[in-house]
Amino acid sequence: MKKSLKAISMILSSALVISAFASATAFAAENDAIEKRELTAYLFNMDDTTTLDCMFTSSLPDIPYIELSDYVGVIYTEQFTETKNDDGTFTLTGPGGNMFINPQNDTVSYDSFEEFMNIEGKSEGTMLNAPYCKTLNVTIEGERKATTLDLGKYNIDIVEANNKVYFPLATINDLFCSSYNAAKYVNGNIYFVHMMEETSQSYVDMSSIYENVERTQEMTDYTYNELCFVADTFYGYPLKAKIAKLVKEVGFDKALDEYGEDTRMAKQLLQSTSFADYFIGLCNLNDAFDDGGHTNLYFGIIPLLQYYPDSDIVQEIKNKVQAGDVFAQNAAITIQSSNNKVFSMQALKDLRKNEYSHYELIKTWEGPANACYYRNGETGVFVFDGFQNDAVDAFKWTLDHAAENGIKKIVIDISCNGGGSSAVVMYMMGIMTNAKDHSNIESLRCINTITENYNSTSYSLDLNLDGNIDELDKEVVYDFDYSIITSDFSFSSGNILPILAQDSGIPVFGQTSGGGGCMLSMFKTPEENIFSFSGYNKFVNAKGEDADVGAPVNYDLTRIQTTDDGTEVIDYTGLYDIDAISQMMDEFYGKKTEPSKDESSEDESSESETSTEDSSNDETSTDNTSKEESSADPSVVSPGAENFKTGSDNAAWIIVLVSIFAAGTVIVLSRKKETD
C-alpha cells in the first residue's frame, strides 16, 4: 500500500491490505486521516526530555507512529544512518549491517539479521549494564541468510511522510526487542523505558490506562494482530512449552484454534473489546505456553494488581470471578500457581540455610544477588541466588580470599537461582576456565529461530575488575577444582552456567537444572502492558543440543521419599552435604580424598558416605531419577501449599485470593527476572 504523505491530515485513498488470517481486520482504515503532532519524550526518567514528531491516524488515535531514526537514536548509543533509496525504500545502516524498509509492501528485511541486531541497547543504571563484559562480535556458522519480515501479513502499516519512515510505536518496540528498551504512550507523552525495570513499578503513572475498561474495535484488532506478529516472529519455540511445536508449524492464530478448547476460548477473550477479558485471556494461555519461566503472557496483570488495585479493570476482573466466570477463576489460579513456585523456592532456601549453618560463614553481601561465602575445611562454597552484577564482585572476592587461605575446591551453589544477566555467566566461566585457556574471551553458541542459523557471540572480559579490558585479564588464574550445585529451580542463566561448565569439564551436582534455554524477550502491547516470551536466540551446548532440557547432573543428590499417604516427595538435603560433595569432587578429578578440617561426628560422616554411595554410582552418571519422578512434589513445599485447590466450587476462595492481590500484596516471580 502506498503511503506517501505530502501534507498533514491528508486523506488516504489507498486500498485495504487483506489479512493473511481470517480473524484480522485492516489496521489503517480506508479514508483514515493522518495527523502530525509534536510530542514530549521522556528519556528513561522524568528529568531528561526531547521532542519528537509523530504521526497519528483517526482510527487509532492512541497509537503514535514514530520515526525510525528518532527511535534508534534514543535506545542505542551507537550511530545509525537512514537513507531513502531511489525505488522508494529506505535503508537503516547500523554498526553490524543493514535494515531495509519497504513502506509500499509493509516489509522489513535484513542482509544479516544476527549481525544487525548485535548491538547493546542503552542500559545505564540497569542490571544489563555490565562494564566488565563487552560484546565483541557474532560469528554465523554457514551461509548468511537474508531475512524478510512481512508486517502487511498482519495488517500492520509502515507510513512514509516527508521522506521519512514511521512505524507504530508497539511495532517498532517489538522489532528492536533485543535492546531491552521500549517506549510507551501515556497521557499524550512518550516515555522511553528499560524493559527490565518495568517488572516493578514504572516511573510512569499508568493509572489512566487502567481506567479504560473498554477498547475500540480498531485497537482490539491491532493489539491481537501485533501479538500474532510477535509470536510468529520472535517466539523461540521452547521444548517445554506444550503448544510450541504447533505454533511453529501453523502460526500463533491457528495454533490457538487447533490446540484445545481453552486456547480457543482464550482467543475469543483476546479479541474482546473488554480490557478485563483481554487480561483473563492472556492468563488462560499459561498452561499451553508454560516453559518454566521465560514465557509469561499475563505479566502485565502483576503491576496492575500490585500498584493499581482500585482501577476499574481490577474491579471488573473481581466481578467476573465473583459471578462464577470459569476463565476469570482460572486466571486467579494461574497467578497463585506462580506464587506457589516462589513459596517452594523459599522453602528450599530455608533448608539450605539450615544445612549450611554447620559450616563457617566467611562473608555475606547486601544486594540483589544475595551472595554469601562459606568454608568447610579445604572447600569453599559460593552461594548466590541471582545472576546480578553484584555477584561478580562477590565471586572475585571469594576466589581471592580462598586462594590466600588454603582452599583447594570451590563449590558454586545456584540451587535457588532463577537467572539474570548472561554477562555474569560469561565472567564466571572466564574465571573458571582461564587456568586452562589463558584468555579473557568467552562465547555463547545459539541457534536463531528467525534465520535458523547457528551463531556464536563473543565477549571480552575484565577478569581482574580494574575497569580495563586488556592483556592483564589473561593473567587472572586460580588453581581450584570447581563444581556447581543445581536444582529444578536453577533456571535461565542458572541453567546456562552448568551446561557451559560441563562442556568445560566441570562437574554438576544435585538435580537437573530447570531449563530456560531461550533468551528472555520482553514486549509491550499497544495498550502498554508487558509480557514476555522465550525469545528467538536458543542456547545450545557444545554438541548443538537444545539447552531447554536442563543440565544433566554428574551426581544426583536428591532422593525420592514416599509419605504415609503414598505421596512421593523429593528430599533435597543431599544437595547441601559439602563433605560428601567434596569427596565426589575428588573422585571426579581423580584425586585422593582428604578429611575435612571441620569434619563432623563419625555418625554424620558415615551417614554422608552412605548418601554418596546411594546417589552417585560413577562420575559420568546423570539423573538417577526419571523426569516423571523429578516432577514429584518437593518435600520442601511451604506449609499450606498442599491445601491449594482448584475447581469451579472454589469461587469464594478465589475471590479472597484476587482481593488479597488487589490489596497490594507483592507478587514475586523470581524465575521471570532474567535476560537469557
Q: Is residue 376 part of a domain?
A: yes
The whole domain housing 673 covers: 236-343+645-676
Task: Supply the pLDDT for residue 2.
Answer: 40
Does the structure show a pLDDT above 50 at 436?
A: yes
Q: Is residue 221 part of a domain?
A: no
> Are 377 and 508 in a shared domain?
yes
pLDDT confidence bin for 200, thresholds 50/70/90: confident
Q: Is residue 354 part of a domain?
A: yes
Q: Output the domain CATH number for residue 521.
A: 3.90.226.10
Task: Supply the pLDDT for residue 519.
Answer: 93
* Orientation of helix 326-356 relative to helix 651-662, angle to 10°: 70
A 10 A CB-CB count for 45 gives: 12
Does the structure show a pLDDT above 50 at 569?
A: yes
Q: Is residue 38 part of a domain?
A: no
Dihedral, 639, 640, 643, 644 alpha carbons, nearest 10: -110
> Are 448 and 563 in a shared domain?
yes
Does the structure show a pLDDT above 70 at 35?
A: yes
**pLDDT (mean) for 307-315:** 90
**pLDDT (mean) for 629-654:** 35
Q: Concatenated DSSP letters for 474-543?
A: GG-----EEEEEE-TT--THHHHHHHHHHHTT--EEES------EEEEEEE-TTS-EEEEEEEEEEB-TT
Write the single-letter amino acid at 601: S
**Highest mean predicted confidence (pLDDT) among 213-217, 378-382, 545-549:** 378-382
**Under 8 Å CB-to-CB from 565, ≥6 apart: which residues?**
none
Does the structure show a pLDDT above 90 at 508?
A: yes
Task: Supply the pLDDT for residue 563.
Answer: 87
When comparing pLDDT for 392 and 605, which is higher?
A: 392
Task: Supply the pLDDT for residue 300.
Answer: 84
The CA-atom distances, in angstroms, between 311 and each of 48, 257, 322, 534 are 29, 32, 17, 30
* Range of lowest pLDDT (87-96, 367-376, 633-642): 633-642
> Are 598 and 574 in a shared domain?
yes
- Map residue 154 onto helix, strand or coil: helix
DSSP classification of residue 471: G
A 10 A CB-CB count for 360 gives: 14
CA 26 remoteness from chain centre = 32
Task: Supply the pLDDT for residue 127.
Answer: 85
Average pLDDT of the chain, as a whole number: 84
When comparing pLDDT for 450 and 597, which is higher?
A: 450
When comparing pLDDT for 5 and 523, which is higher?
A: 523
> Are 339 and 356 in a shared domain?
no
Q: Is residue 673 part of a domain?
A: yes
* Range of lowest pLDDT (304-308, 309-313, 616-620, 665-669): 665-669
> Are 397 and 488 in a shared domain?
yes
> Are 351 and 339 in a shared domain?
no
Does the structure show a pLDDT above 50 at 601?
A: no
β-strands 508-510, 555-556 pairing: parallel
**Highest mean predicted confidence (pLDDT) among 205-209, 275-279, 426-430, 516-520:** 426-430
Q: Is residue 357 part of a domain?
A: yes
Task: Supply the pLDDT for residue 671.
Answer: 34
Task: Supply the pLDDT for residue 31.
Answer: 62
Closest CA to 426 of 445, 407, 408: 445
pLDDT confidence bin for 327, thresholds 50/70/90: very high
> Are 398 and 437 in a shared domain?
yes
Does the structure show a pLDDT above 90 at 628?
A: no
> Are 540 and 501 in a shared domain?
yes
Q: Per-residue b/e over 95-115, b at no fewer than 16 CB within 10 Å?
A: ebbbbbbbbbbbbbbbebbbb
**pLDDT (mean) for 361-367:** 97
Q: Is residue 223 part of a domain?
A: no
> Are 526 and 537 in a shared domain?
yes
Q: Strands of 95-186 (E only): list them.
A: 97-102, 107-110, 133-141, 147-150, 159-161, 164-168, 181-186
pLDDT confidence bin for 655, thresholds 50/70/90: very low
Does the structure show a pLDDT above 70 at 441?
A: yes
**pLDDT (mean) for 347-367:** 97
> Are 614 and 514 in a shared domain?
yes
Let me know: does 250 contact 258? Beta carbons within 8 Å. yes
Element of type H or E holding 431: helix 422-437
pLDDT tens digits along 52-61 = 999 999 889 9
Alpha carbon distance 81, 75 (integer Å) = 14
Does the structure show a pLDDT above 50 at 597?
A: no
Number of structural domains, the chain? 2
> Are 627 and 653 in a shared domain?
no
Q: Is residue 490 part of a domain?
A: yes
Does the structure show a pLDDT above 50 at 526?
A: yes
Alpha carbon distance 405, 351 (integer Å) = 28
| pTM for this model (two decimals) | 0.83
Residue written as grid cell 531491552:
180
> Are 422 and 566 in a shared domain?
yes
Q: Concatenated DSSP letters for 192-221?
A: EEEGGGGGS--SS--TTGGG--B--HHHHH
Residue written as grid cell 519512515:
165
Task: Supply the pLDDT for residue 30.
Answer: 53
